[in-house]
Amino acid sequence: MKSKYTMLILMCLLMSGPTEAQILKKWKDKVANKILGIDNQSSKSDTLAANNMVDSLSMPPDNNIELPTNYQFSYQTTMQLTTSQGTSNIEYYLQPNEMYFAKKQLVDSITVHVVYDNQRYIEVSFFEIGNSKKKARKKMDLFTKAKMVAAYRDSPNREVKPIGTKPHLGYTCEGYEIATDAGITNIWVTNEAPATMFSSLFSQYAEETNSPFTKNTMLMESSFTSALNPEDNFHIKFTQLQPNTLVFKTTEYHQ
């Protein structure tokens, strides 16, 4: 297994997700709570303020990027993340053979689905305010784009060794231990899953000589034990991967 592949997977997976949450939180702080319900008593000025805040999510401009007619998903997966701060569960939606995936998150009383479109390098947020369907899109910033395509340097003094196989969620997973100066990482991946959220990453490496990956490789479990700070330890495990249909028809959501 080529050493450059290993930590790149984790860097791609552990993408920070507070940006959308922070923007929507600021929106709610600025607009009265009743606006989030868009009730009949909402003033025109308040509604305009809400719409203006939605517009701000579209920065920087991406008017030259045409959205697809819809973003369709056929599978749902849940990632359980355990750190020194506790355990959280993050819900994702996947579609076979597509270069995008979606993350579900709750911002106060609003459910938001953020689609990471790795073909167009944009993020599209879909959410509903009362009876109104809204979308907001923006170009991926350079940091997010780098994580998507695994544009990272190798860690120094890296050693990689296979640690066998094990079943998880009905799939055979190959295990690898990666030792670096920073600590020990164990990863478990499978090429049997029906969909993955890592298409943009693994499609680059699938044709490499002796690559253990395909463009459909799915990371199923990982743990990191820091050699420097126990506070940095974490454990990732996908606890489900099941059929679940979700479709966002982009023309039905207004900016």
In tens digits, what is the pLDDT along the chain, a chain of 255 residues?
A: 444 444 444 544 444 343 444 444 444 444 333 333 444 444 454 445 444 444 444 445 455 688 999 999 999 999 999 999 999 999 999 999 898 999 998 877 788 999 999 888 899 999 888 788 999 888 887 767 666 655 544 566 778 889 999 999 999 999 988 888 888 889 899 999 999 987 777 777 677 777 777 888 898 999 999 898 999 899 999 999 999 999 999 999 987
Sign of CA dihedral 52, 56, 58, 59: positive
Long-range contacts of 22-26 (CB under 8 A, 24+ apart): 23/56, 23/57, 24/107, 24/108, 24/110, 24/112, 24/127, 25/107, 25/108, 26/53
CA distance 106 to 134: 15
Q: What are phi and psi of 110, to 5 degrees?
A: -105, 130
Largest distance between two CA atoms of the chain: 64
Question: Quick one: how far is CA 128 from the chain centroid?
Answer: 20
pTM for the whole structure: 0.75
- Pairing mode, strands 122-129 and 110-117: antiparallel
3-state secondary structure of 93: strand
Given this model, what pLDDT does residue 71 score? Answer: 97
- For the chain, the first-to-last Cα distance in angstroms comes to 45
**What's residue 251's pLDDT?**
92
The predicted structure's pLDDT at residue 63 = 53
